[in-house]
Amino acid sequence: MNKLIENSIKKDMLINVGPQHPSTHGVLRLILTLEGEIIKDTKPVIGYLHRGKEKLAESRTYFQYLPMVDRVDYLSGFFYQAALCYAAESIGEIKVPKRAEYIRLITMEFNRIASHLLWLGSFLLDLGATSPLFYVFREREKIITLFEELTGQRMMYNFYTYGGVKKDFPEGWIAKAIDLCKEMPKLFDEYEAIITKNPIVLERTQKTGILSKELGLNYGITGPNIRASGVNLDLRKSNTYSVYNETDFKTCLAQSGDSYARYIVRVQEMRESLKIVEQALKQIPGGTPEKLKVKKVNCNCNREECEYCGFDSKLAEKKINPMTFKLPIGEATAMIESARGIIACYLVSDGTAKPYRIKWRTPSFSAVQILPELIKNSPYSDLMPIFGSLDVVLPEVDR
Amino acid sequence: MYDLYAKILNILRLPEIIAQLTWAVIPFACIAALMVFVVIFLVLMERKFLAWLTVRKGPNRVGPNGFLQTFADAIKLLFKEDIMSEETNKLLFTIAPVIAFAPVMIIYGLMPFTEHLIAINIAVGLFLVFALSSLTTVGIVLAGWSSNNKYSLLGGMRSAAQAISYEIPLVIAVLSIAVIAGSLNLKEIVTAQSGGLFSWNIFPAFIGFIVLFICSIAEVNRVPFDLPEAESELVSGYNTEYSGMKFALFFLAEYAALFIMSVLISTLFLGGYLPPFNDYLSIILLDNIIKNQAIMDILIHLEQGFWLVAKTYTLLFLIIWIRGTLPRLRADQLMGFSWKFLLPLAFINLILTSIIKLAIQGY
């Protein structure tokens, strides 16, 4: 009898969170061992959204695969298309017109803001505040309306193509975007006024889920999560893909590495992204829509400005036929800084119309891996805020 | 009143024993009707206000401007299947919503809504109110335990922990009112505040008002203290396994408790049914016009109801506003806040009010 009581007192509670749980941000399943309300052990179970995105690529042509990568991360589809396009472009040595690069940059940065906004809403929902979710959706809607006007889609854009983007900005788009850039900082001020110094938010997020520099680097954490721990890792600065080197912005850093630092970094990043977009909208070079078409470097026209502006006077080569588009034999890795961290696309081409192998490196995957380390010995109530602060998108984890 | 009732039954040729038996039931029937009515419109009000706070429209399909939405929801809940999982403790699972609901209903009977509209006027009204309101927690703990669901269990346990930490500052804050009024009878407490805005208890005991307001939000498990049903962590907390009418009872109890807590705060601190002026508005404005004392009494009676409802809904609006603004606290932070901050405040309030009382009255 005594032994029975002893066992029942000592027994930890095994609790299964997800995949059908109101706040696991999708279909993450966590098997927690609780001692009272203290989390002793966590096992994340992933794979509920596995669609085989990598394997699917091997049986599809490059153009057939292109619309599928948007779905890897439904909140920031532009980044995945960009990574695939940059990988293919570096194998095929396809030169991208500068205007197309600017359009990519503008859409990517807007996408980053939209993604961070949604993160902000869901993070506060995890903390128990319901109202911010509606406010961020109001603002996100403005960005998404712009995207819809540009690409015809609200979430799965399928807008980039190998060698550029599919369409030029429609008339009046730039003016609308500039207006939005002017309007947004005031709205961010509104959020910050109610959230940043809210004592309950501070109490809940400061000193919880502390991610140390070393731990983060060992686990391969990237993006705002590692920048909140004081690691200056921003591919937009160091890799200078696209035309980031022509814009002036600063990398947002925080030192403490807790949930609050991750919040601060993301809010500042939204402001920085707006700055980038605003500059890019002013600097964007002109040109006809034809400019955006695919053009190879070795077009033998011997004009100096041919590099990407060659079609100012004449049309470039014929638009590539999606059915016959091939890349030369080779392999390339394209790394870009997405809203959630570094995404890398490793592409191997065997010279046929289909990729030989595509490997995605997704930031959320690392973030889920580190979750057990972050929530160990913290109360059960802190599970969702810490998990939410990492900004994990489950389709991205499972691919 | 009873004589009138007996006469009516006599006209209908019913024996007097029936009158004696049913007389006690009538107030409770009225209370139950009032409670359901209040809750239905309180829920509607909350949804509309929250929608307004979060740039939405809120319910706007059923009835004019969504006015009948809660009726539709209530009917839906009535007709829903009552699901009980195999391994629940069936008896406790069924009793729990009743235990959570019944005390709140009795509290309605204890409240002086107007000078005459008070079902049970007893000397220890205030004491009984708090004794009953803490009983609700027992229902929640039972529900959490008997559901045989880990989320429910955590929710129930949190509710118990919350009750333990909040009852004490709550009661000590209210103690200052008993000191000021010199009575535990709710009606006498109200009468002691007569004489306009500045004789309300909120002025000597402002700290107590704040403490009681915060504690009562915790008492009814509202944001930012909605730990027992923390949606983002515990699915739906203690009522995860409940459906149909059993769930509706919890829901009813929660909103009824929310309303009655606001009534209580208005009664204790904001003069209850008394007007913020020196005299009733109807007396000030209509004294020369209406000479009939009976009509005047009715008018005053209605005005008393109006003042209480106005004060109560101001407080309810504040609570809804808080819900629209704040995130949730963590269990340990909540307890720290209660023990380290609210309890000392409540004591300071008690000492201050006692000193004021002594200074005014002497021994």
- Is the predicted ipTM greater than 0.85, yes or no? no
CB atoms within 10 A of CB A263: 26
**What percentage of chain B exceeds 70 in pLDDT?**
98
Q: Determine the residue among B52, B240, B330 to mutate to test chain A binding: the one whose Cβ has the most chain A Cβ atoms within 10 Å.
A: B330
Per-residue DSSP letters for A46-98? --TT---HHHHHHTS-HHHHGGGGGGGSTT-HHHHHHHHHHHHHHHHTEEPPH
For B117-131, what is the mean pLDDT? 83
Question: Which residue from A minimizes the CA distance to B331?
Answer: A381
**B200 in Cβ contact with B270 (< 8 Å):** yes
Specify the pairing of strand A295-296 against strand A330-337: unpaired
Question: Which residue from B minimizes the CA distance to A13?
Answer: B150
Question: pLDDT, tens digit, for every residue of A340-371?
Answer: 888 898 989 888 888 888 888 888 888 888 88
For A294-302, what is the mean pLDDT? 48
Cβ-based interface (< 8 Å): residues of B facing A: 50, 53-56, 150-151, 154, 223-224, 226-227, 230-233, 235, 323-333
**Facing residue for A124 by CB, picked from B226, B324, B327:** B327
Question: pLDDT, tens digit, for every residue of B302-355?
Answer: 888 888 888 889 999 988 888 888 888 887 888 888 888 889 988 998 888 888
Question: Which residue from A minimizes the CA distance to B149?
Answer: A15
Give the DSSP H or E segment for A374: helix A363-375
Partner B contacted by A35 (CB < 8 A): no
Give the DSSP H or E segment for A107: helix A98-127
* Gap from B164 CA to chain A (nearest CA, Å): 17
* Gap from A73 CA to chain B (nearest CA, Å): 23
* Gap from B312 CA to chain A (nearest CA, Å): 24
Residues of chain A found within 8 Å of residue B155, distances taken between Cβ atoms:
none
Give the DSSP H or E segment for B233: helix B231-234
Partner B contacted by A207 (CB < 8 A): no
Check residue B154 and give its pLDDT: 83
Residue B251 has pLDDT above 60, yes or no: yes
- Cβ separation A129–B325 shorter than 8 A: yes
pLDDT band at A195 (very low <50, low <70, confident <90, very high): confident
Residue A115: closest CA among A192, A25, A227? A25
- Cβ separation A383–B333 shorter than 8 A: no
Residues of chain B found within 8 Å of residue A203, distances taken between Cβ atoms:
329-330, 333
What angle do the packed helices B244-269 and B206-219 form, to 10 degrees?
180
- Strand runs labelled E in chain A: 13-17, 29-35, 38-45, 94-95, 160-161, 164-165, 295-296, 330-337, 342-349, 355-361
Partner B contacted by A194 (CB < 8 A): yes
With left for phi above 0 and alpha for psi between -120 and 50, is residue A177 left, alpha or beta? alpha
Residue A285 DSSP class: -
CA distance A6 to B211: 41
Q: Architecture of A2-284+317-398 per CATH?
A: Orthogonal Bundle (1.10)
* Length of chain A, in residues: 399
Residues of chain A found within 8 Å of residue B233, distances taken between Cβ atoms:
23, 380-381, 383-384
Q: Which residues of A382-397 are buried (b: 16+ CB within 10 A; e: fewer)?
A: bbbbbbbbbbbbbbbb
Residues of chain B found within 8 Å of residue A133, distances taken between Cβ atoms:
54
Residues of chain A found within 8 Å of residue B329, distances taken between Cβ atoms:
200, 203-204
**Facing residue for B235 by CB, picked from A21, A134, A382:** A21
**Facing residue for B327 by CB, picked from A23, A127, A380:** A127
* Gap from A46 CA to chain B (nearest CA, Å): 19
Check residue A42 and give its pLDDT: 87
Residue A304 has pLDDT above 70, yes or no: no
- Cβ separation B56–A134 shorter than 8 A: yes
Mean pLDDT of chain B: 83
- Cβ separation A381–B330 shorter than 8 A: yes
* Gap from B35 CA to chain A (nearest CA, Å): 27
**Facing residue for B224 by CB, picked from A128, A380, A384:** A128
Question: pLDDT, tens digit, for every residue of B66-84?
Answer: 888 888 888 888 888 888 8
pLDDT band at A289 (very low <50, low <70, confident <90, very high): very low
Partner B contacted by A11 (CB < 8 A): no
Most confident listed range (A16-25, A109-118, A291-300, B201-210): A109-118
Q: Which long-range contacts (CB under 8 A, 24 or more apart) does B179-185 make?
A: B179/B350, B179/B353, B179/B354, B179/B357, B180/B204, B180/B205, B180/B353, B180/B356, B180/B357, B183/B123, B184/B123, B184/B124, B184/B125, B184/B126, B184/B127, B185/B121, B185/B122, B185/B123, B185/B124, B185/B125, B185/B126
Residues of chain A found within 8 Å of residue B326, distances taken between Cβ atoms:
128-129, 198, 200
Question: pLDDT, tens digit, for every residue of A74-89?
Answer: 888 888 888 888 888 8
pLDDT band at A2 (very low <50, low <70, confident <90, very high): low
Local structure of A333: helix, strand or coil? strand
Residue B338 DSSP class: I
pLDDT band at A311 (very low <50, low <70, confident <90, very high): very low
* Gap from B214 CA to chain A (nearest CA, Å): 14
- Cβ separation A194–B324 shorter than 8 A: no
Q: What is the pTM of this model?
A: 0.83
**Facing residue for B325 by CB, picked from A13, A126, A131:** A131
- Alpha helix stretches (DSSP H) within B54-147: 69-79, 90-110, 125-133, 135-146
| Domain ranges, ordered by start, for chain A | 2-284+317-398, 285-316
Residue A306 has pLDDT above 80, yes or no: no
Residues of chain B found within 8 Å of residue A37, distances taken between Cβ atoms:
154, 331
Partner B contacted by A382 (CB < 8 A): yes
- Cβ separation B55–A125 shorter than 8 A: no
Residues of chain A found within 8 Å of residue B230, distances taken between Cβ atoms:
128, 381
Partner B contacted by A305 (CB < 8 A): no
Our measurement of the distance from residue A150's CA atom to the centroid of its chain's CA atoms, rounded to an integer in Å, reads 19
Residue B142: closest CA among B87, B88, B103? B88
Residue B211 has pLDDT above 80, yes or no: yes
Residues of chain A found within 8 Å of residue B231, distances taken between Cβ atoms:
22-23, 128
Asked which of A56-70, A145-159, A315-329, B126-140 is least confident by mean pLDDT, the reply is A315-329
Which strands make up the sheet holding A355-361, listed edge to edge?
Answer: A330-337, A342-349, A355-361
